[in-house]
Structure 1
């Protein structure tokens, strides 16, 4: 599947295309890569600056692997530009990570499918796997793999979407205020699950209340025609009901005469084999 044309990338990111579109740049991008070692033919290579290395150093390596263009934040030396294969283009932007998200947001909105976003201090990955397995019984379901749950991994996951998928399940990590809001803007979820609020990342946010506010950004992102599943056993999560426009579903470990819509009974830890339980619903 063709993801973008070179001029389209420049338009979506507000970047500068070189050579400019007036020179007939019609290169088409079939994938997106941030690692020259795994770049494939037809990819757009995104040059990210890390603590130790600068992606601009690897443009030639990416081009040799078949990349058709690169997203850059600084001009290439003349020597590097001259070494590029014919037709290779660059789009220069202010912020490569932001541009990556802009491209992923546009691509996600091409598809009308169920998109479930999951966050919480613990249990995100297990919940993602269970949710994807359930939805996978009905539709081909995309999910983020490994630690692809941040501002880089989530967009890279979304670029895999095509019309064969009927659902998408995305774990969202958080290291600060505003990050889940940004990820939700990219992913455009119509459903969400918030597992719990704990002290993970308290050294970054300062308090459990601040962590809860950051996780709450997912509830705030769910539209009126969407739904959000909240852990009724966690007061910080249950309180998020006041901050969402979506339909609310409560879950927990037992009914206990409360408002839970779904709850678990007969929970049996199985060690490395997982957990066995009975799911009940009101």
Structure 2
């Protein structure tokens, strides 16, 4: 984090110092809300949780090296006391961002593929300058400000996922971190039960491009009509990407190898370069195109962008994570979460990898779909004697039902666990 004294933190968030012996002591590490992840020199934001209150861990985090606690009340250790910790966290993020005016904020949103695309951008944009990106999938009103606090001097690009559960959420995030580049991947059916329909999802996702300045850049998916229509909602320059439709940045000659890894020819500005992805699943072609469009739109060459995409590796666990066991069983761990669009992509990847081998899918429920949920997404049990050497096992579902643990267990050569046992 940009070094800030506790006195400066208090001024930035409108708080008061409590139990602080030295107001000049510096906060030098990122803010966290999980007491287990605090770093020496960091700041702990004490938020109330579902099962406990962060204030209860104040003494522990200071003992672990935190400089102070961002708290709603005195906690007996050095603290910046504020009326609302979440609002203070947003104010802190704005202050950190303002301290690095040369950093270009790239916001991205979509119903599916945000984290994978963010990870690709984090591996492509260093061709243009030092880059940092959202930690894991921290993309909401808590996670995104936390991600901003990782910013340090010298960073040229900061890539921020922006998620939403309703109208106005992304607009709120763009007020915390005003973007110069806005990337919209797709409007799918994830969280449709919370939004009320795809049109409402499109309305919410489009808040990102509405926040762009006139000299900004909107990167839109030409293959998604609801996303393409967002061009009318921004005064920024528009750059499109796509596979199926005409776009400024396109993928042609798409092919899959026996492991479901895609290759394609990246075309932009009458220049072509071949890309060979190490990621599994044809859906990553669109994610790679999105990252390429941002990079090219910011001035990167097509050739260097293609080379960087070809070098990119899987970063986030639980998303098309492929492991081959010693007995020949291949486990595809895509259990981080599920929605109809990601489920379709997972089954397409499973089919591409099959090549005559027997395939097994272990499916968890898909939540937040409202009336479209149905009974077909009930979790299935995977029993030990169902798996035979050479099988391909896809573990797909929601992290809330424990399938991530099932997938991890399946990768162990001596143990095959049932989701029923978890």
Q: Where do 1:96-175 residues align within 5 Å?
A: 96-111=85-100, 112-175=102-165
Checking the alignment, whether the CA contact within 8 Å between 1:108 and 1:188 is kept in structure 2 is no
Q: Separation in 2 of the partners of 1:274 and 1:136?
A: 24
Checking the alignment, whether the CA contact within 8 Å between 1:2 and 1:28 is kept in structure 2 is no
Q: How many residues align?
A: 267
Change (3 A) 1:274 1:106: farther
Query: Which residue does 2:38 correspond to in 1?
Result: 39
Higher relative contact order (CA 8 A, sep 6+): 1
Match of 2:215 among 195, 214, 225: 225
Change (3 A) 1:270 1:110: farther
Q: Separation in 2 of the partners of 1:261 and 1:185?
A: 29
Query: Which residue does 1:15 correspond to in 2?
Result: 15
Change (3 A) 1:53 1:234: same
Shift of 1:41: 2.2
Point out the structure with max Rg over C-alpha. 2
Change (3 A) 1:131 1:68: closer
Match status 1:3 vs 2:3: yes
Shift of 1:124: 1.5
Q: Separation in 2 of the partners of 1:63 and 1:271?
A: 52
Shift of 1:171: 1.8
Shift of 1:28: 1.9
TM-score by length of 2: 0.59
Query: Which residue does 1:56 correspond to in 2?
Result: 55
User: C-alpha offsets along residues 246-273 of structure 1, whole Å, 9 cap, x if unaligned?
Assistant: 1011121145xx4x21211122244756
Match of 1:279 among 249, 252, 266: 266
Question: Which moves more between the two structures, 66-75 or 192-201?
Answer: 66-75
TM-score by length of 1: 0.87
Change (3 A) 1:108 1:274: farther
Change (3 A) 1:271 1:38: farther
User: C-alpha offsets along residues 212-244 of structure 1, whole Å, 9 cap, x if unaligned?
Assistant: 011001011111111011111211111111111
Q: 5+ unaligned residues in a row in structure 2: which ranges?
A: 270-422
Secondary structure in structure 2 of the residue aligned to 1:17: strand
